[in-house]
Amino acid sequence: MTIDLSVPVSAWGHGLATVAGDGTVLDTWYPAPRLGERDPERGGADAASVLDDLIAQAVPDDRRNVRVEVVTTEITLADPPASTPDAYLRLHLLSHLLVRPNTINLDGIFGHLPITVWTNAGPVLPADFDRLRPSLQRHGIAAHGIDKFPRLLDYVSPDRVRIADASRVRLGAHLSPGTTVMHEGFVNFNAGTLGTSMVEGRISQGVVVGDGSDVGGGASIMGTLSGGGTERVSIGERALLGANSGIGISIGDDSVVEAGLYVTAGTKVYLVGAPRRNDGSTPSVKAIELSGRPNLLFRRNSLTGAVEALSRTGAGVTLNETLHA
């Protein structure tokens, strides 16, 4: 992957690791991750206070057959993750907005995230959850998922961000202040917003959404985790994906995709308003050739069914300020 050279090369943090009875590290929480190299002699009172608080909270939970250990993790961001605490530190850096999506090495991160039962009392090893199920139920401990990635809100509370359904946003999502994620919105890890945005659709891994943009209800943005795709998709500023639309190309600033229209990289797009060909026909291109261009409207001709692109003029999308305060 491409590493952003403007990002510091290292990071560190004091955290609490949850360790199952068989020694599996289930997760690690870092309340105050930091960029740069750790200097024990210049850590400051804040770092010492964080460490003291963690030591006080490092208590076992026999109900879940786990112990909690204080860890100090130091990593090089250009290297791939090397352990579960390492992987969790990278996810925390993203969700604390210390780094942007696609700027640090996450290669092989799935291999360092064990499949875990996520409960209202914390993570549990799947085998232990089955074995301890009656006891867990008596203690009011219930599962809300089994996955490699936990919910963002169980680890980070983003500033000035609204998330209507906690299960729809993974740890590692990058949500800038002013972002609203409605009930049907979804944000994966290593993806998110760079400014005020409305999210009612799906933001896949690797996708970034610019300031002032709106991802409409049911809208889909292609990622790179499955299907063999390598194209990094982004949405510019003041752009709109209409309800139930989708894109496999980047959308530039002040652009709009009509509701219900899915534009993949190979979609044939007719260029409305462009000079006609010698035979009088409207020129067309593959959608990938329009990737990232600003001030475009993508629509489907209601008579012919052809996908068209035409230039937009005037103001871009304007979000309702009261919904993002």
Query: Catalytic annotation on 321?
Result: no
- Is 299 within any annotated ligand binding site? yes
- Is 185 within any annotated ligand binding site? no
- Is 301 within any annotated ligand binding site? yes
Task: Find all residues with CB under 8 Å of 143, minimum gap 6, and list them.
Answer: 117, 118, 119, 124, 129
- Is 268 within any annotated ligand binding site? no
Burial of 12 (0-12, 13-18, 19+ CB in 10 A): buried
Task: Decide the pairing of beta strands 143-147 and 246-247.
Answer: unpaired
Bridge partner list, 14: 72
- Is 90 within any annotated ligand binding site? no
- Is 244 within any annotated ligand binding site? no
- Is 217 within any annotated ligand binding site? yes
- Is 266 within any annotated ligand binding site? yes
85: left (phi over 0), alpha (psi -120 to 50) or beta: alpha
Distance (Å, whole) CA 300 – CA 235: 20
- Is 184 within any annotated ligand binding site? yes
- Is 287 within any annotated ligand binding site? no
Task: Find all residues with CB under 8 Å of 171, minimum gap 6, and list them.
Answer: 88, 91, 92, 95, 149, 150, 151, 152, 154, 155, 156, 189
- Is 258 within any annotated ligand binding site? yes
Please identify which of the residues 69, 74, 200, 308 carries the catalytic annotation.
Answer: 200
Distance (Å, whole) CA 126 – CA 115: 8
Among the listed residues 187, 272, 283, the one whose alpha carbon sits nearest the alpha carbon of residue 235: 187
| Other beta carbons less than 10 A from residue 324's beta carbon | 18
Residue numbering of the annotated binding site for succinyl-CoA: 202, 217, 220, 243, 258-259, 266, 286, 299-302
Which residues are known binding-site members for Mg(2+)?
A: 184
Catalytic residues: 200
Binding residues: 184, 202, 217, 220, 243, 258-259, 266, 286, 299-302
